Each structure stands twice: as structure tokens, then as C-alpha cells.
Structure 1
Amino acid sequence: MNSNIEHHTTNNSSLNEPPLCDAADPFVLKPNFDMPFGAIDCHAHVFGPRNKYEYTANRSYTPPDAPVGAYLHMHHQLGISQGVLIQPSVYGTDNSLQANTLNYLRSLGKDYKGVAVVDANVSEATLDQLALSGHVGVRMNLLFKGGIAWDDICHLAERLSKRQWHLQFLIDITTFENFAEKIRQLPVPVVIDHMGHMNCNKGLQHRAFQDLLSLLREGRVWVKLSAAYRISDQATPPYEDVTAFAQALIQANPHNCIWGSDWPHPLFNKDMPNTTDLLNEFIQWAPSKELRQQILVANPRRLYQFN
């Protein structure tokens, strides 16, 4: 699979390599609401150390180290109990850092899960190894052309369905032709990253967003209420233009919405958001304790097969 571009970037570090990203804000505080016991962060990444885990040459950014210790500190500060690590594009299909991290977390008695990136013809033995380290899904980058062919995705989906895994799509729903029709073809659960990755200036009535709402109502997809800064026209939080989109998704099917921090937030041309500020926006999206319990605990526990 050709992973292509996943996140955006900021400062140029060298003329000879992709731009260097800013590091995440390390000052993470408690959120402005009581996190429900068992809350799960469904989207984050770990990076480095670079001298041990090399980045693929065909990448669009160079992240600073974001080690597992900083990741766990962020979770502790926010009151998060468990998480799902998502394979970032800078490592291509080499899932070794993520697998080693998940195994390390397990050695500490922590139950964390992973979503891998694999080639279309990945071997069953490789999938077996990924399963042993806690992986329960595969991520597909469909934001840009030139990646895996749709027929290959369908074939891989058939294989993953036998494992009760899901497919996660990084996709701009407004630019992917026949989006809803193609999603309905797949025999596995489908997770859509970052609220469909469509810019808010395209409006709630955009056909692709309405298709996403229909798929949600059908229970055909799950949607991550994450990375508001990636779809907002605003440079800093609160990303108020995102609120109506998040609320519409929750109203369509609160049982198939999940939340992710998107830590450590590699960005392009925007100020680095504070992770606490991002979580505090969730109060506007899900104002009741019952909704927050559903989205932060019950839904991800079901999707990611937590015990």
C-alpha cells in the first residue's frame, strides 16, 4: 500500500528532507468536565527514536520524537484509561514501532489497541503477528490518488472480515468519487477519520456530508470526532465552525461515534493546539454525561474489542 500524505506540517528543517513538524504542547491539564471512568482515546501516534525506527523516504513530514511516556502522561492528565494507536504514514508499512509499543504497554498491564498499515497482498502470517500485539484494524489512506486500488481494498476487506477487523479510512469525503456506494460494498466495519476530513466551509448540506450522515444512520460506518483543526477555517481553538458538524454526526447515530485526541497533532500553517483545549470542545458536541459515556467509553470498547 502506498501510504502517501497523512498529516500536515510546519517548519522547514532542511532542504534535503520533508519539513519538520512542531512538537505537541506538553502542558496538558485536566479537562473542564469529569471524564467517565474507562474513557478511550481512539486516535493517536507515537514517533521515534529516529535512530532506532527510520522514517520512510517517501513521506510528507518529519515528526519530532513523541515517545510512549509522553503519550501515557497525556492520557493520565486527561483521565483517559485506554487508547488506540494509529500507524502513521512516516513509517509506511513497517508497523514495528507500534507493535513494540503495544507489547510494552501490555507488559505494564495496560490494554491498548492498534490500527496498522499494510500492503494489499499482506501475508496471513504478518496479520497474525499484528493481532498478537493488539492490532484490530487496517488504515487506508485515500486522501490522495495513486494509492491502493479499490479492487484491492475489497479483496483485503474480505480477508479482514474473517478476523473481525475493521477498515479505517483517511479520506476527504467530498473528493472521493461514489463514496457512499463504495463504502456499502465492504463486508467489514468502516471507520472514517476526522469527521470525513471535509472543510467546514463546504457546509452541512454538502452531498458528501449528507451521504456520511446516511451511512451513520444505517450503522454502516463509524466516525471519529477528532482533529477539529483539520477541517476548521479557524486558526486557533475553539473551532466553533466544527460544532454543528460534530453535533449532526452524533445526532445521526450516537452509537457509532468515537473520539480521538490526534496527539501529537502534526499541523500545517496553524498554531499548535493544546490537547486539553481540544477535549474541552467535546462538551459542546456532547453536552450530557450520558452522551459522553456512550462516545468515550461504550462505543470504542465495542468497536476495538476491549475486554
Structure 2
Amino acid sequence: MTDRSCQAPDPATRTPRTRLPPGACDAHCHVFGPADRYPYAPDRAYTPPDAPLAELRRVHRTIGVERAVIVQASCHGTDNTAMLDAIATSGGAYRGIAIVDGGVTDAELARLDAGGIRGVRFNFVRHLGGAPDLDVFDAVMGRIEALGWHVVLHLDAEDILEHAARIGRLRVPFVIDHMGRVKARGGLGQAPFQALLDLLRNPLAWVKVCGAERVSSAGAPFLDAVPFAAALVGAAPDRVLWGTDWPHPNIAGDMPNDGDLVDLLAAVTADAGLRQHVLVDNPARLYWA
């Protein structure tokens, strides 16, 4: 295990100036622990501070979110219990993205589906271990198709070309996390970002315009990430999702405030109709249809 600690999220969530539409969805957030009830994976690459469901709910009340997609993070490994328990208490307002391995059974996939899981996540990012076993990846893709699930790809934009053939063979919808973790300092014309825009021509491709703090090269308030998010929304307005990424694990620079991230989204989607698509209509179609 190569373990490192993470910063805690900003506890003083600001009330955003922007009022979110009814049914607004945070399509990328996490629950971590508490570790005494939901232990972290022994082979984890990092150890986060506990960020339990009660805190996630507080943040969502403050910023005006009514629905959420909880994404399993690698620190909990393939034990999806914390996420499933959170979904079970939500009255249908939460969905989830699981992490599974090649040994997952049909019975376990059925249990996850019944528990509100609608997809699986695979990590390709180098500092979290790099590309997964690609034979396992391919096998899992074949099995989730029958469930109507999708796959979430956590990768760096420069890796899109490396894995283009495999991505092109996918028969399920796929969602690119965090704007492909492109670096703003490279500008809109940089090859990795152009590859991401090209990928969005595929009708199965979705992207999350979250992780502004990961894209930004200038630091808070992360305004240099806005042109990238706006370009992605413009390229595929019906296949874009937004999320806070709370509690923002593995942030090396400025910790974002989730209320400010809502206002940053407003700079990307100044039109109320477009904001309705990104925050309500698109996640409803992917997760609640």
C-alpha cells in the first residue's frame, strides 16, 4: 500500500448566489466512512478523513441539491457498503457508481442493481495505480450491458488516444470524469482537450464538468477552468453532467468551497435552460429513467 493522507473539505460551505433548479443533481460526490463502521480498503492508495453521509446531506442542503450520484472511490475498494447504505436512506433521491473486480458474481451485480447502482467506475489515473487489468475491464463491460448500466472512466485526457480503440469498442454509455483532468495551462487548443472534444462525437460519450480545482492551473477561484467546461457543454449539451466531487479527495492545491463551485457552474451555463439540462434533465435520463 502506498498510503497518503488527504485534506479535509472546507466545512464552511457558502450559500451560493445561484439558485439551483428543482431536482438539481450532484452527479459526482462521495461518502467516506466513518472508518469504524465502513473500513477503508487495506490496499488503498490514500486515506481520507471521514466524510460521512450526514455531512454530504448538510452540504447539499446548503447549496440546493436534491438528488445525487454517489461514486465509489478507490479508498473503499470493492466494498460498496457505505454507498449502498446511503442510497437506501435516500427515498430514491440517490443513485450510485460501484467498483467491482473480475470475480463479481451475477448475484452480486443483481444486488447492486436493486440497491440503486447504475454503473461501474474504472480508474486509469497514474497516481491512483494506473490502468486496470484490461481483460477484467472488457469482461465487466460485457456483463453490465444487460443491466443497462454505464461505465465511468477516470483518466487523464492525454490517455484518451492510448485507449481510443478500446473506448471505441464500448457498447455501453461511458462517462469521462473531471473534464478528463485536462490542464488549463495548455489552453483550449491542446491535443488532449481536442481529443476529448472529438470523443464527444460518439453518441455513447458523456462528460462531467466537475473537478475545476483539478483542471485549474491558477488556483482558486478556478476561473481558468470555465472555458474548458463551457466548450464541453457546447459540444454535447445533452450528455454533460455536473458534480461537486465532495469531499474533494487528493487535492494538492486550494480546497474548493462547494457553494463557490455552484456559482462557477453558473458562469459555464448562464442560460437557465442549459442549466436545467445539465443539472436535472441529463442526470434524470442517465440515472433515473
TM-score by length of 1: 0.88
CA distance in 2, matches of 1:252, 1:146: 28
Which has the larger displacement, 41-50 or 217-226?
Answer: 217-226
Q: Which residue number in structure 1 is paired with residue 281 of structure 2?
A: 298
1:101 Cα shift?
1.6
Q: Which residue number in structure 2 is paired with residue 73 of structure 1?
A: 58
1:122 Cα shift?
1.4
CA distance in 2, matches of 1:183, 1:147: 13
Which has the larger displacement, 83-92 or 228-237?
Answer: 228-237
Work out whether 1:245 is the aligned partner of 2:228.
Answer: yes
CA distance in 2, matches of 1:227, 1:271: 12
Q: How many residues align?
A: 287
Equivalent residue in structure 2 for 1:119, among 101, 120, 127 = 101
1:105-184 equivalences under 5 Å are 105=90, 109-144=91-126, 147-184=131-168
Which has the larger displacement, 71-80 or 203-212?
Answer: 203-212
* 1:27-76 per-position Cα deviation (integer Å, ceiling 9, x unaligned): 22332222111100000111111112211232222111111111111111
Q: Which residue number in structure 1 is paired with residue 203 of structure 2?
A: 219
What is the SS of the residue equivalent to 1:272? coil
Q: Which residue number in structure 1 is paired with residue 244 of structure 2?
A: 261
CA distance in 2, matches of 1:229, 1:242: 8
CA distance in 1, matches of 2:45, 2:219: 21
What is the SS of the residue equivalent to 1:234? coil
Work out whether 1:40 is the aligned partner of 2:22.
Answer: no
What is the SS of the residue equivalent to 2:104? coil
Q: Is the 8 A contact 2:14 2:257 kept in 1?
A: no
What is the SS of the residue equivalent to 1:295? helix
CA distance in 1, matches of 2:149, 2:288: 9
CA distance in 1, matches of 2:266, 2:93: 26
TM-score by length of 2: 0.93
Which has the larger displacement, 84-93 or 194-203?
Answer: 194-203
Q: Which residue number in structure 2 is paired with residue 19 of structure 1?
A: 4
What is the one-letter code of the residue matched to 1:57? Answer: P
Q: Is the 8 A contact 1:198 1:231 kept in 2?
A: yes
1:196 Cα shift?
0.5
CA distance in 1, matches of 2:230, 2:254: 25
1:196-215 equivalences under 5 Å are 196-215=180-199
What is the SS of the residue equivalent to 1:214? helix
CA distance in 2, matches of 1:289, 1:181: 37
Identity, % of aligned positions: 39
What is the SS of the residue equivalent to 2:89? helix
CA distance in 1, matches of 2:45, 2:136: 24
* 1:147-175 per-position Cα deviation (integer Å, ceiling 9, x unaligned): 42333322211211110000001100203
CA distance in 1, matches of 2:252, 2:150: 32
1:110 Cα shift?
4.1
What is the SS of the residue equivalent to 2:43? coil
- For the structure 1 residues 71 and 65, does the alpha-carbon distance in structure 2 shift closer, same or farther, using more than 3 Å as the test? same
* 1:184-225 per-position Cα deviation (integer Å, ceiling 9, x unaligned): 110100000000112122332223322221221332310001
- For the structure 1 residues 213 and 165, does the alpha-carbon distance in structure 2 shift closer, same or farther, using more than 3 Å as the test? same
- For the structure 1 residues 211 and 180, does the alpha-carbon distance in structure 2 shift closer, same or farther, using more than 3 Å as the test? farther
1:268 Cα shift?
3.5
1:177 Cα shift?
4.3
Which has the larger displacement, 147-156 or 251-260?
Answer: 147-156
In structure 2, stretches of 5+ residues that fail to align are none
Q: Which residue number in structure 2 is paired with residue 195 of structure 1?
A: 179
1:146 Cα shift?
5.4
Q: Is the 8 A contact 2:80 2:99 kept in 1?
A: yes
If each structure's helix is expressed as a fraction of its own residues, which one has the higher value?
A: 2
What is the SS of the residue equivalent to 2:28? strand
Q: What is the CA RMSD across the aligned residues, in angstroms?
A: 1.8
- For the structure 1 residues 261 and 146, does the alpha-carbon distance in structure 2 shift closer, same or farther, using more than 3 Å as the test? closer
What is the one-letter code of the residue matched to 2:226? Answer: T
Equivalent residue in structure 1 for 2:214, among 230, 242, 264 = 230
In structure 1, stretches of 5+ residues that fail to align are 5-16
